[in-house]
Structure 1
Amino acid sequence: MHLTPPQIFKILFTIVLSFFLCSIQTWAQSKDPSPVSFPTPKNVDHLLFYLQRDPNTNTLIYALNIKANGSIDAESPIQVYWIRYGEKGQKKDLGYIQRKFAYGIDTKALGTDKYEFRFVSHKKLPFYLQKYSDKSYHVSVTINNRTIRVSRLFIRIQGGSFWLPNVKYAEVEGIEESTGKPIVERISVK
């Protein structure tokens, strides 16, 4: 059987993400922090959360996808795009490989104002987009029996290659829903 480069990338990326999502630990403070100083996205319309990763400051934005009439697009409730801070700070769509094998998401409706989505690179961990009592939408995920209202995801990459990055860990940052306190959950590769 002959595999194309996109098929090889999907297999390798899925393997790497599977390893780091299988071993979950809570870390109050980061060990082995990224040497990169990351900007916090400002003035982003309908921002749900953002994803940053080594080795540069380019940031993935996950925002509520609002139609012209002001309602949520039920077919595609989340739009994903880059803010290319490492270049000129411009907005840019994901490339085909990024969308289909790495940072894109698969979404399904669960009912009125509630959706489940999973990253195409790792379908085991479900995230939920839903409308809360304050009439705004938020994304949540449950890790170690803690439900987190997600504000930021971070992937620590140290070396490797385009096809097989050396992912050290991932962090989910946000607010723990049961306590209302800030929380960071680290998902370790080790």
Structure 2
Amino acid sequence: MKHTLLLVCLINLILPVLAQSGYPKPSNMKDVLFYIQHNRGHNTYIYALNRLDDGNINKKDPIEVYRELFDEDGKIKPLSVIQRNFAYGISTQVVDSDSYEASIVSLPSQKFFLHIKSNKGSYVETTVNNVKMRVERIFIQQKEGTSGLGTKVDHIIFYGKSGHRSVVEKLEIKE
């Protein structure tokens, strides 16, 4: 019985990683806070520090979201109106002079916290399954047979760091 339980746990940890083999990293990681990919293609949604022309962080809108279309030769494009308003857009609220609370429009209950550091160490934190982590990337497993505005999510996998160790946390989506 112990061995069966251990095998089931290992399979649940390994399968999400195997399902993402071959996914590309964004081509320019400068100022990237984290990025999102999903099982319906390799296009990547990138969340980066939003800098003004003078190089300072845009305090009114500190996170810029855009997409890298790996399925179309790696073109960089802004989010479409539908993507911004119903899926990948992000809203932020000031916490203090160097911190913001943020949420992605399609998952408003999952709070993210942007911490701006002057030494280029800015990062985003969130808590998944009671594990606080610096988010590096997110993978969304969409349910088969759903698409467009009716897309349903099976689970979301968060990759990041908790202290100095790498962590992977799976968030099951209940309907």
Q: 1:171 corresponds to which letter in structure 2? A: I
Q: CA deviation at 1:36?
A: 6.6
How far does the alpha carbon of each residue in 1:113-169 deviate from its partner, in whole angstroms, 9 at most, with x for none? 100100111211110000358552100001222211000011011421212224221
In the alignment, what sits opposite 2:166? 182
TM-score by length of structure 2 reads 0.84
Pair 110,81 (structure 1): closer, same or farther in 2 beyond 3 Å: same
Q: Which runs of 5+ in 1 are unaligned?
A: 1-26
Query: In the TM superposition, what are the counterparts of 1:1-190 in structure 2 within 5 Å?
Result: 28-31=13-16, 34=19, 37-132=22-117, 134-159=119-144, 160-177=146-163, 180-189=164-173
Q: CA deviation at 1:185?
A: 0.4
User: Number of aligned pairs?
Assistant: 162
Q: CA deviation at 1:111?
A: 0.7
Report the Cα distance in structure 1 between the residues aligned to 2:91 and 2:55, rounded to whole angstroms: 23
- Moved runs in structure 1, 4+ residues, more than 6 A? none
Pair 113,35 (structure 1): closer, same or farther in 2 beyond 3 Å: closer
TM-score by length of structure 1 reads 0.78
Q: Which structure has more RCO (C-alpha within 8 Å, separation ≥ 6)?
A: 1
Q: 2:149 corresponds to which letter in structure 1? A: W
